[in-house]
Copies of this chain bind each other. A is one copy, B any other.
Amino acid sequence: MIATPQSLHFAAKLPLQNGASLRDYSLSFETYGVLNEARSNAVLICHALNASHHVAGVYPGQDKSEGWWDNMIGPGKPLDTGKFFVIGVNNLGSCFGSTGPMHVNPDTGRIYGSDFPVLTVEDWVNAQARLLDVLGIETLAAVMGGSLGGMQALSWSLQYPTRVRHALVIASAPNLTAENIAFNEVARRAIQTDPDFHAGHFYQHGTVPKRGLRIARMIGHITYLSDDVMNEKFGRQLIAASQDDAQRDYFFSTLEAEFQIESYLRHQGDKFAEYFDANTYLLITRALDYFDPARKHAGNLSLALGRATAKFLLVSFTTDWRFSPKRSREIVKALLDNKRDVTYAEIAAPHGHDAFLLDDARYMGVVRSYFESVEVPT
């Protein structure tokens, strides 16, 4: 399946939750499959922290897909592009094509930097809805996302209840816990206190706060994996210790990586700092922190989800300690309190939060069955 990135420009102001607005912005997106005549088979995919509109397929010349959900989406895959028209969209404020902090503010002629407005999940959903307007799609067969993407899917069902027939909310939560916020905050402080950050205007200084980005990514990575899978994959294995030499002496260094988990994390941090935008990291983690549909209902999630009319699939993974099954069950309960149609699968998977991106026969099977049941009116 060949993927073709597209971009749409929006001149009109998008009012934002913080009271400001964005104008003259663009959204990058990709589509897979064919929109049927009734325009009833569209599925919108919402991405999580460091992903993009490139959800599936290959670009010309590639033999391996770099799409982040390529295992999920394609011809004959759980979300079958033979049946559905799938849309991947890069969110505003991201750093993969849609308008973000590294672009020029039309009001000032200068790069936004930290002046880019702080966006919310609700703002993203509003921007996605405008994209669908342009594509001529009134109603989504489904909206689907994992993690922060799952929050967007849930928010779609609340902001545009009549435009969503099914919402697939995977490895997600109705809001962040204090611990979740705490990890985000440490990552943000690492970036913001990096001298190369220059209060978010590092572009004009020709610097990148790579130190901070590295730390942010390392912290994030720890929380994406389960303790178990880390022990299985790395355990206490030393670097530069062959099978025959497992008992090599320690280096007795605080600076050199000694254990394989250390060099793995350093590598992940280095890679991330090369391509990810620091302001985007701040914005996206803040959108996570802020999401809390129950907030305007004094914390009553059942009351908050009363607006939703879609049918739901929720999936959680037993070893996910970032967005634990308990959090998905809160959503399930609140939907059931409203007598909504909910399917819930709790998958025993060892991979922690990352499981939502990985192949697991039961997980893929559940999503496949669910999409097989999604009707496509003609």
Q: A: which residues have CB within 8 A of B?
A: 17-19, 114, 117-118, 175-179, 181-183, 185-186, 188-190, 192-195, 200, 211, 214-215, 218-219, 222, 225, 227, 230-231, 233-236, 247, 250, 252-255, 257-259, 261-262, 265-266, 269, 282-283, 285-286, 289-290, 292, 295-296, 298, 321
Residue numbers in B under 8 Å from A117 (CB-CB)? 252
Which residues of chain B come closer than 8 Å to A247, judged between CB atoms? Answer: 295-296, 298
Closest to A259 in B: B181
27 A-B pairs with CB atoms under 8 Å apart are: A177-B227, A177-B231, A178-B233, A178-B236, A178-B261, A179-B222, A179-B225, A179-B227, A181-B236, A182-B222, A182-B262, A185-B218, A186-B219, A188-B254, A189-B214, A189-B269, A190-B190, A192-B254, A192-B255, A193-B211, A193-B214, A193-B215, A219-B219, A236-B292, A247-B296, A247-B298, A258-B289
Please give the distance in Å from A198's CB to the nearest CB on chain B.
Answer: 13
Contact A182 B265, CB 8 Å, known A215-B190, A254-B118: yes
A-B pairs with lowest CB-CB distance, top 9 = A18-B252, A254-B282, A178-B230, A118-B252, A178-B234, A193-B211, A178-B261, A186-B218, A185-B262
**B-side contacts of A282, CB under 8 Å:** 254-255
Since A178-B234, A182-B222, A182-B265 are in contact, a sample of 7 more A-B pairs with Cβ atoms closer than 8 Å, ordered by chain A residue number, is A17-B252, A117-B252, A178-B259, A182-B230, A186-B218, A250-B290, A255-B282
Question: Within 8 Å CB of A176, what residues of B?
Answer: 236
Q: Are A185 and B252 in contact (CB under 8 A)?
A: no
Inside 8 A of A211's CB, which chain B residues have their CB? 193-194
Complex contact A261–B230 (CB within 8 A): no
Residues of B within 8 A of A254 (CB): 114, 118, 188, 192, 282-283, 285-286
Q: Give Cα A289 to B257, complex, Å.
A: 11
Residues on B with C-beta less than 8 A from A295 are 247
